[in-house]
Structure 1
Amino acid sequence: MTVKRASVVCIRDNKILGFYGKEPKTEKLFFFLPGGKLDPNESPVDCAIRETLEETGFKVGVKTETEQIVDYSLEWDGQQFPCCTHFYVAQLIGNERSQVDDADYHRGMCWLEVENLHEALSYNKELQQFVTRFVAEYF
């Protein structure tokens, strides 16, 4: 069953907002853009905003006109998950950051240099190609 998701791309000072997650099976660290699974009856926009706050502590606003939807498969904990993700350009609302209390695999938010994004997403070629094009289009 396809996982319906929403995610944001938020860039400030040539750095992209994200977080590191530790894969349970391999214990490798991966860079992720803020985002996650839609709750029942939740819109993709609301999900993207909620997930960004939960995973990074930052409040964001999304530019709905930038929505792009991509299908890809993600391997996690030894399983393949087909994903359908709504991506949006986001901007920080203020500079305040709340405490992050997320899933056990969460290993901390970060601002990754945009020049390192291609390598940071090398664990998933489909996602890597899409996000690279998305960033080039909007930033």
Structure 2
Amino acid sequence: MARRDYEDDPSAPAANSLVPAASAVVVGEDGRVLLQRRTDNGMWALPGGRMELGESLADCAIRETYEETGIVVEVTGIVGTYTNPGHVFAYDDGEVSQEFSICLLARPTGGSLRTSDESFEVRWFAPQETDGLAMVPSIRKRLDDWRAGHGPAIR
């Protein structure tokens, strides 16, 4: 399903849903971070997605990371909360969801890199290598917050 991100854009459609979601900054022992290149917008992103009924937020991040990248993770902390009402995701089925995402910190415990129907490239990057990557502003904020290391961000 195609998705378009709008952040603080006056031409954005009005939200008609609020969906809890989790993303993960997965950091390997060597300090590199795991990113995927999304099939829906071609941008680099953290693994993550919608929380399902019956799962915890940590379980959501673990499941989404495995589904999208093939890497099994353990959640170790929180990067921040991201709930900007001016950030919406418009889907081709007419849903427009307001951002409600918690970004967690995780470490890999197994698995191997692979793509999925949501990702056409998955790679590990040194933090400074992420600077020039094409990504939506909300993902850039999460990476910047993690790199700044000032504790959980509330946005």
Establish whether TM, by shorter chain, passes 0.5: yes
Unaligned runs of 5+ in 1: none
Unaligned runs of 5+ in 2: 1-16
Partner of 1:68: 80
The one-letter amino acid paired with 2:122 is M
Indicate the residue corresponding to 1:113 in structure 2: 126
**Kindly tell me: are residues 138 and 112 of structure 1, through their superposed partners in 2, closer, same or farther at Cα, counting changes over 3 Å?**
farther
Alignment correspondent of 1:81 = 97
Identity of paired residues, percent? 22
SS of the residue aligned with 2:44?
A: strand
Taking structure 1 as the reference length, what is the TM-score of the superposition? 0.75
DSSP 3-state at the match of 2:83: strand
Residue 22 (structure 1) aligned to one of 39, 45, 49: 39
Deviation at 1:9, TM superposition (A): 0.5
Q: What is the count of residue pairs matched by the alignment? A: 130
1:1-139 matches, within 5 Å, as 1-12=17-28, 13-23=30-40, 29-64=42-77, 66=78, 68-72=80-84, 73-75=87-89, 81-94=97-110, 96-97=111-112, 100=115, 102-103=116-117, 105-120=118-133, 122-124=135-137, 126-137=138-149
One-letter code aligned to 2:20: K
Q: Give how far 1:42 is off.
A: 1.5
**Root mean square deviation, CA, Å:** 2.7
Letter matched to residue 15 of structure 1: R
More strand by share: 1
CA deviations over 1:84-133 (Å, ceiling 9, x no partner): 11111101113x32755x33x42121113311334436532x44234302
Displacement of 1:48 after TM fit?
0.3
Structure exhibiting the larger radius of gyration computed from Cα positions? 2
CA gap of 1:2–1:131, structure 2 versus 1, over 3 A, is farther
Conserved in 2, the CA contact under 8 Å of 1:89 and 1:138?
no
Runs of 4+ in 1 over 4 A off after TM superposition: 74-80
More helix per residue: 1
Secondary structure of residue in 1 paired with 2:99 = strand
One-letter code aligned to 1:20: R
